[in-house]
Amino acid sequence: MSEGAAQPVGSGGIPEATISRLPRYWQVLRDVRGQTTISSQQLAEAAGVNPAQLRKDLSYLGSVGTRGVGYDVGRLIDMVSGHLIGPASRPFMIIGMGQLGSAMAAFTGYAERGFRIAALIDIAPGLVGRRMRVAAAIGPTTMVVRSIDEIEQVVAETGATLALLCVPVRVAQQTVDRLAAAGVDSILNFAADGVHAPEGVRLRDVDLGRELQILAYYQQHPGAPAARPEPAAAEPDAVPTSAASDPSNDKKVSV
């Protein structure tokens, strides 16, 4: 994207590049939540961005820092979580309960990030009706796998409009179309490349094979510079360090 080009903006008015960095800030803040404050320099270094970029990103949240103190960790966690998740845990469904879907259901990190599994969905008669293990805030529990034929009812009952797609490649597109028709508007796709999101549906692809290929490249070319995600100096929405005030140096600033 050329310099000065407009940045893609999410529905909340925050640039998509900033949205993609917020989970990094959240994780760093969660790791240091035992301390009261953190400076912009410390947070930026831990998140892998420059301080100016960090301050610009946090300015979209209305964050305020204090001179000589930095950011209040607890308050900033709440602000970032509020923009990423909202005031309550967000329900989601797992579509496709084969080996990948089962592994996703057992992942224990959803609750701390503000998510909860609302339903397990499949089409196979051998899986529908089975009780499978899922991770929950209270610890491991079980949930009955429901049929894709009940998807409209599941959405109505649970309010879940976010789905993890873990179905075979051959049925991925038709499953996405069916989910969209039922009111699902956000899909994390583990199925395959080439799946098209219907109008009004946001779809993100996770291709494990592609990621392995990238790592394999660096194994074959050990002298190649390591890839650093979103280097701040090259980002269109990055700002010069002097353009944003550091809360550690200013009296009280919106950063």
Phi–psi pair at 101, nearest 5 degrees: -60, -40
Q: What is the pLDDT of residues 39-76, one digit of tens each?
A: 989 999 999 999 889 989 988 888 667 767 788 898 89
Q: For residue range 206-234, what is the model confidence (pLDDT) as tens digits?
A: 988 888 988 999 898 887 776 555 444 33
Residue 1 assigned ligand-binding role: no
Which candidate, 43, 23, 136, 8, places its Cα nearest to that of 84?
23
Point out which residues pair with 204 in neighbouring strands. Answer: 188
N-to-C CA span, the chain: 25
CA 122 to chain centre: 24
What's the average model confidence in pLDDT over 23-44?
Answer: 89
* 10 labeled part of a ligand binding site: no
Return the percentage of the chain with pLDDT > 90, whole number: 45
pLDDT digits (tens, 9 = 90+) for 100-130: 999 999 998 898 888 999 999 999 999 999 9
Tell me how far apart the alpha carbons of residues 197 and 173 are, in angstroms, rounded to a whole number.
8
- Yes or no: say if 44 and 29 are a contact pair by the CB < 8 Å rule: no
Q: Find out whether 219 is annotated in a ligand binding site.
A: no
**Is there a contact between 193 and 201 (Cβ–Cβ < 8 Å)?**
no
Residue 97 annotated as binding site: yes
What pLDDT shows up at residue 81?
Answer: 79
Q: How far apart are CA 126 and CA 113, in angstroms?
A: 32
Q: Which of 145, 149, 162 is nearest to 105 (CA)?
A: 145
**Residue 41 assigned ligand-binding role:** no
Q: What's the pLDDT score for residue 237? A: 44
Residue 182 pLDDT grade (very low, low, confident, very high; cuts 50, 70, 90): very high
Is 65 assigned a ligand-binding role in the annotation?
no
Tell me the domains of the chain and their CATH numbers.
16-86+239-254 (1.10.10.10), 90-206 (3.40.50.720)
Which DSSP category does 9 fall into?
Answer: B
Name the token pair of 15.
């640039």
The dihedral formed by the CA atoms of 59, 240, 233 and 229, expressed in degrees to the nearest 10: -20
Q: CB pairs under 8 A, 24+ apart, for 250-253?
A: 250/65, 250/67, 251/66, 251/67, 252/64, 252/65, 252/66, 252/67, 253/64, 253/65, 253/67
